[in-house]
Amino acid sequence: MAFRKGTNQLYSGSFDRTLKVYDLSPSVMGYVETLFGHQDHVLGLDALRGETCISVGGRDKTVRYWKIVDETQLVFRGGGRSRVREVLEGGLKGDDEGEDGDADGAETSKKKKGKEREEKKFVEGSLECVAMIDETTFLSGGDSGYVHAF
């Protein structure tokens, strides 16, 4: 949940993949609208003074910049690592191992490649949190260990 700074407008994200907008001013004191777009649970959101907010979807690996008045959104992909980053960190070591020409070598190579696939399942992590720096800049972070600036 996050309040729009300086107002009574409240945004909430949910496991039902939606954002809900509430107006808690004395004259309204209730629900205003629902925004749809995420393909998985909404795990975090943030807002500043403008009529925008940012939300982050866990396993859909997206950050969405919502323009509340227009009911539009910009989608930013994140949560993954690039192939270049994997090479720099030594993540591709197992690609050339186990090819020594004998029958066991081929089997070992298959086992290692299978193991690599299992490990790579977790390379693209979910996005867990988001924070607005100003009205056009925000950060996201997740279980991959990276912080992304947009």
Q: What sign for the dihedral angle of Cα 106, 112, 118, 121?
A: negative
Same-domain status, 75 and 93: no
Amino acid identity for residue 12 in this structure: S
pLDDT tens across the length of the chain (150 residues)? 999 999 999 999 999 999 999 999 999 999 999 999 999 999 999 999 999 999 998 788 889 999 998 889 999 887 555 454 555 556 655 544 444 444 444 444 455 555 555 444 444 578 889 999 998 899 998 887 788 888
Same-domain status, 89 and 22: no
Same-domain status, 115 and 70: no
Given this model, what pLDDT does residue 11 score?
95
Name which of 48, 44, 46, 69 is nearest 126 in CA terms.
Answer: 44
Same-domain status, 37 and 102: no
Same-domain status, 73 and 94: no
Given this model, what pLDDT does residue 93 score?
54
Contact 132, 51 (CB under 8 A): no
Same-domain status, 106 and 41: no
Give me the sheet containing 2-3, strands edge to edge. Answer: 2-3, 9-13, 18-23, 30-36
Given this model, what pLDDT does residue 46 score?
95
Same-domain status, 29 and 89: no
| Per-residue pLDDT tens digits for 64-93 | 999 998 889 999 887 555 454 555 556 655
CATH number of the domain residue 25 falls in? 2.130.10.10
Q: Which domain holds residue 112?
A: 83-120
Contact 63, 73 (CB under 8 A): no
Given this model, what pLDDT does residue 80 score?
57
Same-domain status, 41 and 113: no
Same-domain status, 137 and 92: no
Same-domain status, 116 and 44: no
Same-domain status, 104 and 74: no
Please count the structural domains in the chain. Answer: 2
Rounded CA Rg of the chain: 21
| Per-residue pLDDT tens digits for 123-137 | 457 888 999 999 889
